[in-house]
Amino acid sequence: MTEIDNELIDWAVYSETRSSLGPDFVRILGYFREDGTQSVSKIEAAMKAKDAAQIIEPAHRLKGGSLQFGATRLAALAELIEMTARKCVEHHHAPDEILEQIVGLRPLFEETLPILEHESSPVVQRQPMGFGRRSTLLGNHMSGR
C-alpha cells in the first residue's frame, strides 16, 4: 500500500467489511464495480443533460457503496455531488456548479477501484518473512554447498 492508497481508502472500514462479508466479499466488490461504473455514467449523462434530479440517485448509490468499502474520498465526492444536485433541484437550478466535481468523478473512481480489487485478491503479493534469507539458501543449495 502506498501513501496515496491510504488517502483514498480507510483500511479499517475495508477490513471490517471484508471480515463481515467473508467469502462473499469479492462478489459484492464486483457488484460495486458494476454499479459504480453505471452510476458514474448516469451522473455524467445527467450533467450533460443539465438534469440535477437525475444526478441524485446514482450519486447516492455511489456514495453508499464507496462507504461500505472504505473508499472515503470517492464517497465524499459522491456526497458533495448528491447534496449539490439536491440543492439545485430545490432551487430549480441547473447543476452547473458541480461540473468540475463530476468531471473528476470518473478518474477518482478509476483510481480507487483497482486498489480495492488488488487488496481483495487472494494472490496479493506479500513480502515473505526473512526477506533475502530464502534466496541465500537456494543459492547455496544450487551451488552444491
Per-residue pLDDT of 29-73, as tens digits, reads 999 999 999 999 999 999 999 999 999 999 999 999 999 999 999
Q: What angle do CA 115, 79, 42 make, to 5 degrees?
A: 80
C-alpha cell at 76: 465524499
Give dist(CA 110, CA 87) in Å, integer: 27
74-101 per-position pLDDT tens digit: 999 999 999 999 999 999 999 999 999 9
Closest CA to 108 of 76, 84, 143: 76
CA Rg, the chain, in Å?
A: 21
Give dist(CA 71, CA 81) in Å, integer: 16
3-state secondary structure of 17: helix
pTM: 0.80
CATH number of the domain at 3-122, out of 1.20.120.160, 3.40.50.150, 1.20.1090.10, 3.20.20.10? 1.20.120.160
